[in-house]
Amino acid sequence: MLIGLVGIGKIAVDQHVPAIADSRDWDLAATVSRHGQVDGVEAFADFDHMLETRPDIRVVSLCLPPVPRFDYAAKAIRAGRHVMLEKPPGATLSECHTLEAMAREHRVSLYATWHSRQADKVAPAKAWLAGKTLKKLTVTWKEDVRQWHPGQDWCFEPGGLGVFDPGINALSIVTEILPDPLHLTAAELHFPQNRDTPIAASCRFYHPGGADVSANLDWLEPGPPTWNIEAVTDQGTLLLENGGGKMTIDGRHDEGVAGLGGEYPRLYAQMAELVVQGGIDMDLAPMRHVADAFTLGKRVTVAPFEW
């Protein structure tokens, strides 16, 4: 199938372009970007122009930042195109609900992707947890914002989500691997005195079986990142490391080899399936938990942050 890629920034070049190039399902037929382009691919600066002149491109993948993304997604859906959205699927929950209603009305596929859910060991972790009784689940998601988003002030502007930008990846995994729904009961958000989003957060969740579920997010961790989820059950302890890339059960490393080649190839394979089936996958659970944390969280002012 032909696909158009909108927003040719770092994530597009690093992940989307190679994933599309390696896929048997997809051919990159056009890009839309004010600045970037891809060698050998028709480049548009204007999205409307692409939608008008390339009616053969039935699917578009949007890698723009969340705030402008709604307008592009709405235009594409109204033009009868299937749409794939980078995470998070929008700047607000309300616009995501609107997009889903529009996709149903226009009978197109819509996919809110959560790339971390496609990490190698997420499906095995989900399978291992099924049928076991959860006692405790602890998310530890710590990285150095200076290393991962150097100088990117948008992270700290309203809507930038702050430490929940990486933290939502953890929540996307947790909501995938646990069979039971959680909801936040308390959170503490650390806002640098000179910034509009939190740089650290701790969250506690209600679990229907009474398990002790918590998340500890920190954007000021020096050195290598820690992206871990530990689940203690009645039948042993599962540890997911490397953002879902490594799994150990009671200290034994799971050596199983995953199919396909990584998170983004799996997202594009999933999108191909959705388009063929006429499906919509607009699971907003990770984003709802983040909104709940902002709504319910206690705000603590901490030292100013400078790059």
Contacting residues toward its own copies, per CB under 8 A: 70, 74, 90-95, 97-98, 101, 158-159, 161, 181-187, 191, 196, 206, 208, 285, 288-292, 294-299
Task: Compute the C-alpha angle 143/149/152, nearest 5°.
Answer: 140
Please, are residues 264 and 115 in contact by the beta-carbon 8 Å criterion?
Answer: yes
The question of whether 87 is a catalytic residue gets the answer yes
- In whole angstroms, the minimum distance from the beta carbon of 184 to its own copies comes to 5
**3-state secondary structure (DSSP) of residue 60:** strand
Which residues on neighbouring strands pair with residue 217, listed in sequence order? 141, 201
- From 75, 87, 132, 136, active-site residue: 87
- C-alpha 152/C-alpha 163 separation (Å) is 13
Encoded tokens for 82 = 């299937």
- In whole angstroms, the minimum distance from the beta carbon of 39 to its own copies comes to 36
- In whole angstroms, the minimum distance from the beta carbon of 195 to its own copies comes to 10
Nearer residue to its own copies within complex by CB, 240 or 287? 287
- In whole angstroms, the minimum distance from the beta carbon of 303 to its own copies comes to 16
- In whole angstroms, the minimum distance from the beta carbon of 3 to its own copies comes to 26
Q: In what order do the strands lie in the sheet with 59-62?
A: 42-44, 27-32, 2-6, 59-62, 82-85, 110-112, 280-281
Encoded tokens for 283 = 């699971």
Nearer residue to its own copies within complex by CB, 19 or 213? 213
Per-residue burial over 127-157, b = 16 or more CB atoms within 10 Å of its CB, e = otherwise: ebbeeeebeebebbbbbbbeeebeeeeebbe
- C-alpha 201/C-alpha 193 separation (Å) is 15
Omega cis (within 30) before 181: no
Please, are residues 199 and 144 in contact by the beta-carbon 8 Å criterion?
Answer: no
Nearer residue to its own copies within complex by CB, 107 or 298? 298
- In whole angstroms, the minimum distance from the beta carbon of 298 to its own copies comes to 4
Please, are residues 145 and 219 in contact by the beta-carbon 8 Å criterion?
Answer: yes
Nearer residue to its own copies within complex by CB, 27 or 180? 180
Which residues on neighbouring strands pair with residue 281, listed in sequence order? 111
CA distances from 292 to 122, 140, 204 (A): 24, 19, 11
Active site residues: 87
